[in-house]
Amino acid sequence: MIFNSLDFHPHTKRSVPNAVERAYRLRTNHIVDSFSLRIPKKIRTEQFHKLNVCAYEEADAAKRFWVVEGYASVDLRVSDIASIYKESQPQAVKRMNQLLKIGINVAAKNEPLFAMHLKLWEELLSSADEEFDHDLRITRAHGSRRWRCNAVLRITPANYHYDVLVTESRSGRTVERHRVKTTECALPFYSGIGFSKLRWDGQEIAVLTKDDKEIIRFQTTLPA
């Protein structure tokens, strides 16, 4: 299987209000999305394509690993996990990273191909709070072939930004960045895209839906 995503789930004895759950996701969602979006393509495992690390207030065992239909889970007993909902963003992120690291190591002990890349998983986790651009694979060449526009997702600890980069075709150097929209980290990144096409109109860039409805338009300052 191709491993492509990591997620984390705290489980408390009492149900968590939706507003509290949402606030928690706003503080931590960028970590799992940052990790998952930077997994190199075609990293294979024998048993699973997604790994869930789950922290339970109550559990039969301190650590447990299981797999069902390509989904793996590492269940951890963490008696005070409910406190993660009250912690500040730095505290919640630090705690979540600690538990994710434990979960990754437990999975590595049970999955040889996954264990081969343990150093990579630890590097991705340690750098998951750093900003980076993820290529959304929405691109269009200028009529002159001198320029390209390319849609990217800029993941930050506070927000997800959907940008259009104007680059030189030969060198790939970015010459302009235009912001389409910004969303909160509460939802998976793909829920906020809202567009699927780019189009050059002379020196302007139009951002479109799949039905060719124009979302926004940018004026570039490129030489004629």
Return the H-helix or E-strand segment holding 28. helix 18-37
List, for residues 75-119, the tens digit of each pLDDT value: 999 999 999 999 999 999 999 999 999 999 999 999 999 999 999
CA 32 to chain centroid, in Å, comes to 6
Average pLDDT over residues 161-175: 96
In a domain, 80, yes or no: yes
In a domain, 197, yes or no: yes
In a domain, 224, yes or no: no
Q: Please enumerate in sequence order all residues whose Cβ is within 8 A of that of 136, keeping only pairs 6 or more positions apart, or say none.
A: 151, 152, 153, 162, 193
In a domain, 48, yes or no: yes
List, for residues 204-218, the tens digit of each pLDDT value: 999 999 999 999 999
Answer yes or no: do 28 and 95 share one domain.
yes
List, for residues 31-76, the tens digit of each pLDDT value: 999 999 999 999 999 999 999 999 999 988 899 999 999 999 999 9
List, for residues 4-15, the tens digit of each pLDDT value: 999 999 999 999
Last residue of some domain: 126, 146, 161?
126
Q: What is the pLDDT of residue 186?
A: 85
Domain count, the chain: 2
SS3 95: helix
pLDDT at 165 over 70: yes
Average pLDDT over residues 124-140: 96
User: Model-level pTM?
Assistant: 0.91
Answer yes or no: do 112 and 67 share one domain.
yes
Answer yes or no: do 16 and 119 share one domain.
yes
Domain of residue 111 covers: 5-126
191 pLDDT band, cuts 50/70/90, is confident
Answer yes or no: do 66 and 42 share one domain.
yes
Answer yes or no: do 173 and 119 share one domain.
no
Answer yes or no: do 180 and 207 share one domain.
yes
